[in-house]
Amino acid sequence: MKIIADESIPQVKEAFGSFGKIELCSGREITGEILHDADVLLVRSITTVNETLLKKSSIKFVGTVTIGTDHIDQKYLSSQNISFADAAGCNAFSVAEWVLCAVTKIYNSTNSNFKGKSIGIIGYGNVGTKVARFFEAIGFKTIINDPPLDRKLGKQKFNSLEESLKCDIVTLHVPLNLEGIDLTYHLLDEKILNLLKRDSILINSSRGPVVDNNALSKIMAQKNNLRIVFDVWENEPSPNIELIKNANISTAHIAGYSLEGKLNGTHYIYKKFCDFLKAKQEWVPNYPIVENEMIEIDSNESFEKILLKITSHIYDITSDSELLKKSVELTEIQVPKYFDKLRKEYRIRREFNNYTIKLSRPNDALKNLLTKLRLKVI
């Protein structure tokens, strides 16, 4: 069996090596010629898998280590009896933690507190539910918008898009749908963007085209009363440089790039591939020891300050933002290579559940709250 895999999929050789010969390629350089005698294709979001890529191949199984599938033509795969597996949910906690780190950073930088604040969560799937869990734990009112679930479950829990836009924070966790009743391409167009509350925070860690980037850049240039936190961009890896420059936090599509999120992706498609072959599952991910896993906290500080110390220790989101903002110094030709480099060479980042909080004095309420964020507390 011949397996073609994106070279940036972690531990892919260890997971799939027993099934045959593995060839690793850059995701943007996987071509039909490379695939002509291959049986299996394993990709990330940067490889578009469709008839053009596969028509001269003998591929029988396609797996993507991502939660999004807009880069995969599933109708074509089905028509050719090619089995398909995604990794839905693999990095949901990673993205939710990225959102919490960003909000904590911005609120502390403006000496704001969480009390009485609201968050509009657009999309209530694997990621949105975890974002809601975190922000409900720290006292935010959650306003949830998810039309497909609304139709399925009723209106007990769900609100309109317009209601969610009235919140102090609006965060997007939807798939990219280019057609149909649940179209999400430019879901936030110029008209909708103008409905955002003054001084609110708009967060996008779903897919770049869910927000009209050019319209947003224009609005920011005119009124500068929005705070923007973006991890995904239209036209990646050639994003809107002005938007990167003016956003409060700009990162290079790495919100889901915790080590756990990445290895979960490999593990998810490995298990589905074993099911496809009716083979025994034997491989499990190898996780290194977490360094500096103990965080000492002064229980007397405000919760906002406590959370800033914890999140900054675990993940310095500002550093990631500063790296992408260096794009403004590059030429138009250099930007795409730099964007891909930031993703390919991304450092190891671990999730909250690997860390232990040592409180300066017992505080059951604080312990309970931090536990809800998946932190261990002593």
Please give the positions annotated as active site: 207, 236, 253
Using an 8 Å Cβ cutoff, are 231 and 205 in contact?
yes
**DSSP for 29-50?**
G--HHHHTT-SEEEE-TTS-BS
Distance of CA 67 to the CA centre of its chain: 8
The H or E element that residue 142 is part of is strand 141-145
* CA 200 to each of CA 115, 166, 251, 264, 282: distance values in angstroms, whole numbers, following the listed order: 15, 9, 19, 33, 48
Task: Calculate the CA dihedral of residues 307, 310, 311, 315 and round it to 10 degrees.
Answer: 170
Q: Which of 367, 108, 343, 119 is nearest to 248 (CA)?
A: 108
Q: Which residue do the tokens 């709250």 mark?
A: 369
- The identity of residue 246, as a single letter, is N
The H or E element that residue 103 is part of is helix 92-109
Residue 159 sits at φ, ψ, to 5 deg, of: -125, 170
- Other CB atoms within 10 A of residue 245 CB: 14
Sheet holding 61-64, edge to edge: 21-25, 2-6, 40-43, 61-64, 83-85
Using an 8 Å Cβ cutoff, are 93 and 351 in contact?
yes
Using an 8 Å Cβ cutoff, are 107 and 306 in contact?
no
Neighbour-count burial of 344, counting CB atoms closer than 10 A to its CB (0-12 exposed, 13-18 middle, 19+ buried)? middle
Using an 8 Å Cβ cutoff, are 321 and 249 in contact?
yes
* CA 15 to each of CA 211, 251, 339: distance values in angstroms, whole numbers, following the listed order: 36, 29, 28
